[in-house]
Amino acid sequence: MYHSQAKKSGDRHLGLSIVILAAGQGTRMRSDLPKVLQPLAGKPLLSHVLACSKALDADDICVVYGHGAKLVQSYYANESLRWALQAEQLGTGHALQQAMPGTPDANRVLILSGDVPLLMPGTLSELLRETPPNDMAVLTVDMKDPTGYGRVIRKHGSVSAIIEDKDAGADEKAVLEINTGVMLCPAEALKRWLANLSNDNAQGEYYLTDIIAMAVNDKVTVHGIKASSPVEVMGINDKKQLAEAERALQARLVDELMSEGVGFADPARVDIRGTLTCGKDVFIDVNAVFEGDVELGDGTKIESNNLIRDSRIGAGTVVHSNCHIEDSSTGQNCEIGPFARMRPGAELASNVKIGNFVEIKKSTVADGSKVNHLTYIGDTEIGTGVNVGAGTITCNYDGVAKHKTKIGDNASIGSNVNLVAPVEVGEGATIGAGSTISRPAPANELTVARVKQTTVKGWKRPVKKGS
C-alpha cells in the first residue's frame, strides 16, 4: 500500500492519483466470482484497468473494493496498490469518498471503473493532456441508443451537468452523448464537492455525477472529451456484455498483430489470452488459442485447433492440428503433431519431429531426433539423431518418485518398448521391438528383452454360449 507525495507544481503530468471503483457486486453476472475478477482474454477485468493505469505513470493508484473483498485483495496481494474499503454500496460518489483520505490534495484525480476494461492509455493520456491542471474533465461518447446511461448536458461547449437516465426528462433523454464514468478532477476541490453530495434522487444514492454542477457553480470549467468509439468505454455488467467485450478485445489484438505482418486464416477465430509475440512470416490457422506468454519465431506455422500456453516456438517450426503445448520450447525447423502434447519442461532442439499421439513431459530432445507415433516420453534426455519407435513408453514413476531415462546419440528404439527408469541406453544402441529394458543397454549393441515365444497346441478360443 502506498500513496504519493505531490511533485513539483510546474509539471501538469505529475501528481496524478488514479482511483478505480471496483466495489460493485455485479448481481447480473449470476456468479460467485466478484465482477471485477471475471475473466476477459485470460485476465480479470480489473487487471486490464490496472494495466492501463500503470501505462500512465501515475504515482498513486487506489482501488475501492467491497463485494468479494478478500478475493479481490488476495488476487492482487503482490501489487503495489492503495486499497479503500466501501463497506456499504451507497453509490459512486460514496465509493469515491472512501479513497479521498489517502489522496494528496495537490494531485489530480483520474476516476476509472473496474468494469470498463477496454480503455486505451492513449485516450486517457489525451484527457490528461487536454485538461488544464485546475479544470475538470469528463470522458464522453456518442451512443446510438443511450438508454440507461447518464446524459451529458453542455452549455457553450462545456459540460454543465450529467443527468442520470432514471432522473432525465424527455428532452434530456433525447441527448445521445453519454457519461462513460471516467473523470479527471483537482483533488482538493474534489474532496470539497464529495463532502456536499446528497442522496436525494430516484435511487437514493450519492451520485458522483452531481459534482459536475458543483464544479460549474465554483466557476471550474468542465471539459467534455469524446472517446473515439463506444466499444472502448463499454461497461461490463453481465455475461452477454462480457462475451461482447471478449470479441472486441480479440479483434483489437489480432488487428495489432496483422499490422505487424502476422497472417491469419480467419482473424475472428483466434483467441489471445495473454501476450503473443511473433516474428516475420508467421501464419496462424483457425481456432488457435494462445495463453500466457507465447513467442512464435520467424516463419512458424500454427495449424488449426491448437492450444499453446507459456511457450516458445522456434523459427520455421510447424505445429500441426490439434496439439496442446504448455510451458515448453522448440528450436528451429521442428515439426509437432498432429495430436501431440508437450507438457511443462519439454524442450526440443532444432530439426526435431514429434508425431501424432506423442506426449513429452519434462524432457529434452536433441537435434534431429524423431518421436513419431503413440509414445510417452517423461523425465528423459534424448540425444541427437535418435529414432524412437511407435508405442514406446518411458516408465518414469515407481509409485513414489520419478526417475530419469537417458538415450544416447544415434540410438534406435524399436516399437512397443518399455524403458524402466532409471535406465540408460548407450550411444548408437539398438533396442529390439517389444522389449522391456530395466538395465543399461550398451552402446553400439542390439539389446532385446522378450519372453520366449511359445505356441500352445490345441488351445481353443472361448465362445459365447448358444453360438
Q: State whether 152 and 280 are in the same domain.
A: no
Give residue-wise pLDDT tens across range 51-68.
Answer: 999 999 898 999 999 999
Give residue-wise pLDDT tens across range 252-288.
Answer: 999 999 999 999 999 999 999 999 999 999 999 999 9
Q: Which has more confidence, 6 or 293?
A: 293
Is a pLDDT exceeding 80 seen at residue 9? no
Biggest CA pair distance of the chain: 108
3-state helix, strand and coil shares in percent for the chain, rounded to the nearest 5: 20, 30, 50
How far, in Å, CA of 131 to CA of 123, rounded?
Answer: 13
Q: How many residues does the chain have?
A: 467
Mean pLDDT for the stretch of residues 21-37: 93
Q: State whether 202 and 267 are in the same domain.
A: no
Q: State whether 266 and 218 are in the same domain.
A: no
| Percent of the residues in the chain that have a pLDDT greater than 90, as a whole number | 88
With beta carbons less than 8 A apart as the criterion, state whether 71 and 27 touch. no
Is a pLDDT exceeding 80 seen at residue 92? yes
Q: What is the pTM of this model?
A: 0.89
Q: State whether 210 and 308 are in the same domain.
A: no
Q: State whether 287 and 373 are in the same domain.
A: yes
Q: Is residue 366 part of a domain?
A: yes
Q: State whether 196 and 269 are in the same domain.
A: no
Q: What letter represents residue 124's amino acid?
A: L
With beta carbons less than 8 A apart as the criterion, state whether 159 and 139 touch. no
Q: Is residue 105 part of a domain?
A: yes
Q: Is residue 218 part of a domain?
A: yes
Among 200, 226, 252, give the residue marking a domain's end: 226
Q: Is residue 159 part of a domain?
A: yes
Q: Is residue 6 part of a domain?
A: no
Tell me the catalytic residues: 373
Q: State whether 153 and 222 are in the same domain.
A: yes
Q: Is residue 438 part of a domain?
A: yes
Mean pLDDT for the stretch of residues 99-108: 95
Is a pLDDT exceeding 80 seen at residue 11? no
If one counts every other C-beta atom within 10 angstroms of the C-beta of residue 222, the result is 25
Q: State whether 198 and 266 are in the same domain.
A: no
**Predicted local distance difference test score (pLDDT) of residue 2:** 34
Q: Is residue 156 part of a domain?
A: yes
Whole domain around residue 304: which residue ranges? 261-447
CATH code, domain with 353: 2.160.10.10
Q: State whether 276 and 422 are in the same domain.
A: yes
Q: State whether 293 and 405 are in the same domain.
A: yes
With beta carbons less than 8 A apart as the criterion, state whether 136 and 185 touch. yes
Q: State whether 186 and 265 are in the same domain.
A: no
How far, in Å, CA of 119 to CA of 18, rounded?
Answer: 14
With beta carbons less than 8 A apart as the criterion, state whether 185 and 111 touch. yes
Q: State whether 212 and 296 are in the same domain.
A: no
Q: How many domains does the chain have?
A: 2
How far, in Å, CA of 172 to CA of 151, rounded?
Answer: 7
CATH code, domain with 56: 3.90.550.10
**Predicted local distance difference test score (pLDDT) of residue 467:** 58
How far, in Å, CA of 170 to CA of 359, rounded?
Answer: 65
Mean pLDDT for the chain overall? 94
∠ CA 206-37-97, nearest 5°, is 25
Q: Is residue 241 part of a domain?
A: no
**Predicted local distance difference test score (pLDDT) of residue 1:** 31
